Amino acid sequence: MEKILAKLSLREKIGQMLMFDFRKWQNSDEDKQSNYYVMSEEVRAMIRKHKLGNVILFAENFENVEQITRLNAEFQASVENGIPMLIGVDQEGGRVVRMSHGCSLPGNMALAAAGNAENAYTAGLITGKELAAVGINVDFAPSVDINNNPNNPVINVRSFSSDQYVTARCGTAMAKGLQAAGVAATAKHFPGHGNTNVDSHTGLPAIYSTYEELMGFEVVPFADAIKNGCMMIMSGHIQFPNIEKASVVSKQDKKEMTLPATLSKVFLTDILRKELGFEGVLITDSMQMQAISSHVGSELANILAINAGVDILLMCTALRSVKDDAKLGALIDNIVNAVEDGRIPMSRIDESVMRILKVKKALGLFDAPVTSTEEKVAAALKEVGCEANRAAERLLATEGVTVLNNNGVLPISTEGKRTAYFAAYANKVNAFELALNRLYADNKIATVDYTPYIYSNKTAIDDAAKALVDSADNIIVQVETETNMAHSNWYVSFPRALCDYAKSVGKKVVVISSFMPYDAGVYRDADGLVLCYCAKGVPGAVAKDINSTLAYGANIPAAVEVVLGKAAARGRLTIDIPEMFADGKFDTSKIVYPMGSGMDLN
C-alpha cells in the first residue's frame, strides 16, 4: 500500500477521502433530474476528472437487481488509477433500507428482542451476502446508538436497546456477520446519538454527559466493535459541551458553539484513535446535514473534520448535474489550499489515505477475480431474495415479536369466524394478506374471512368502523405511532377510540404495535398487545406473489402469524416503556413495562 500511496498526487489522495451520492442526475440534454439507474458519461467524466474514490447509494439508485449490479460495475470501471471504489449504502434493516429487492430484515430492536445475539449475526450475514452480490462493499450499519431517550426522533427502533451491553453484543455480532460476507461494517454514530431529542438532519443535538458517563455508557458498544475488528466507524454531528471545550462561531446565530464530535479532535483522535485504539476508516455522517451545514459551512467544516481525524468526508456537497462540477472543483481546491499553506498537515492526509487503502485491500478489492458483468448479474439474481434468505428473514422477524398482554385472546381462532383488521395504510393490509398467503401455502390455516379497514388521517371512528367491530368475532388493530406521539394525532386517536368502543360493546381487541414500542403504554388495556418494532409495509405485488424478490417489511406479517398462533413469539423488551402523557411526552419516573417484559406464545 505504501507504493500505491507514494504514486498518488495530492488531488488523487483527496479524491480517496471523498464519498458522494449520485441519487439523482440531470444530463445536459435533459430538462429535469431523475433517479440515477444507469451510468451517465457525464458522471463518469466527473469521477475521472476529480479522481473520486468512493460512492454512496440511495433508494433512488435501486430499480432492480440486474440494474444495480450493472451500475456498480460501471462505477468500478470508471476508476482510472487502479484503486477500486468503496461503494456504500445505509442498509441497516428494518426501517432503514435502500435495496428495492431482497431482504429488509426486521431491524435492530426486533433482533435484540429475541435475546440471542446470533440473530444479529445472521441478519448481518444475509445483508452482507446480498449487498456483496450486487457489488456493494460497505454497509453503514450497525447503528450502535443506545436509545435511552424515548423522545429520540431519529434513532428509536434503529437501536438494539437502552442497555449498553445488549447493544454491544448485538452490534458486534451484526458487524461480524457483515464482514464474514466481505462487506465492511460501520458502527455509528460515534460517540452515540441515542440520548438526544433533536435529529441532526435538521438541527444540532447536544448530550450533556461527563467524560466518565460517556465512556461507561455511550462508548461501550463502539469499544466492543473496535475490539472485535469492525472496519469502519461513522461520526455523529452531536455536541458534548461537558467534554469538548473548543468552539466555533455559528453561521446561523453568530454565537459561539461547541464543536460537534465530527469536527472534534478530542473525540476523533484522542478518544477514538488513542484511547480506544481504532485503526480503521473513520467516515463522517453526511456533511450536508443541517447540524453541520447550517452552523459551520462546508469549507471550514471539511478542514476541521480532516484535522480532527476524519478519513472520508461523506456527501459534503450535492452533485446533480454538470453544473455542479465547478462547485466540486472549488471544494477540492479548498482542501488542496489548506494542505499547501499548512492548515492541514500532509501527514494527516497520508494517514487517512493509507487507512482507506488498507480497508480496500482487506476487502479483497485489489485482488477481486475478473468476472464479466453478465456473470455478476447472474450471481446477484441467484443470491438476492433467495429462498434460504427469505426463510431466515421470516424466522428472525417472528422471534423478535414481543407479547406484553394476553387476556385470553391470543392466539386467536379464525375458523368459522369473522375477523376485522384495522390498519393505518393499504400496505399494512398487504402485510396481513401476505401473512395469510404464506400460511395458506404452508397448509397451516384454512381460508380466513376478514374485512380490512384503513384509518389513515381519521381522528375518530365512524359508523362503518363501529359496524365492523359489531359484526366481528376477532378484532386486530395495527398501530404505528410515529415520533410525535400526542394523543390528538390520528395514528393514536383513531385506534385508541376504536379500542374504547370495542370494550364498550364487550369485544376483545388485539393491538399490534408496529413502530415505536413506547406507544404500548397507550394500549395497555388491550386484551392482546403485541410489538413488532417496524412499520415498513408490503407492496401489493408481494402480497399476491409470496415468491417475489421485492423488498418488504418482514415485521408486521410476522406479528400476524404470531397472533394467529402459527409462529412462536419469544421477544422481550430491550427498553423500558414509561408512562406517556397526552402531549406525547414521557414521565420516565413511571415505567409501565420494564425492560425484559414479554411472554412466550406458542
**Grid coordinates representing 571?**
421477544
Q: Which residue has the cell 384503513?
A: 454
Q: Which residues contact 504 (CB under 8 A, 6 or more apart)?
A: none
**Grid coordinates representing 188?**
455509528
The CATH topology of domain 401-593 is Rossmann fold (3.40.50)
The CATH topology of domain 16-338+347-381 is TIM Barrel (3.20.20)
Residue ranges covered by each domain of the chain: 16-338+347-381, 401-593
What are the φ/ψ torsions at residue 93 (nearest 5 degrees)?
95, 160
Apex 584 CA angle, 579 and 588, nearest 5: 35
pLDDT at 156: 87
d(C-alpha 387, C-alpha 379), whole Å = 14
Please list the ranges in the chain whose pLDDT falls under 70.
Answer: 152-153, 196-203, 291, 483
Q: Which residues contact 108 (CB under 8 A, 6 or more apart)?
A: 92, 93, 94, 120, 142, 143, 157, 158, 159, 160, 170, 174
d(C-alpha 72, C-alpha 206), whole Å = 37
Apex 302 CA angle, 271 and 234, nearest 5: 45
pLDDT at 201: 58
**553-563 exposure pattern, b = at least 16 Cβ within 10 A, e = fewer:** bbbbbbbbbbb
pTM of the model: 0.96
Active-site amino acid positions: 201, 285
Give residue 187's region: left, alpha or beta (phi > 0; psi -120 to 50): beta
Do the domains 16-338+347-381 and 401-593 sit in the same CATH topology, yes or no? no
pLDDT at 562: 98
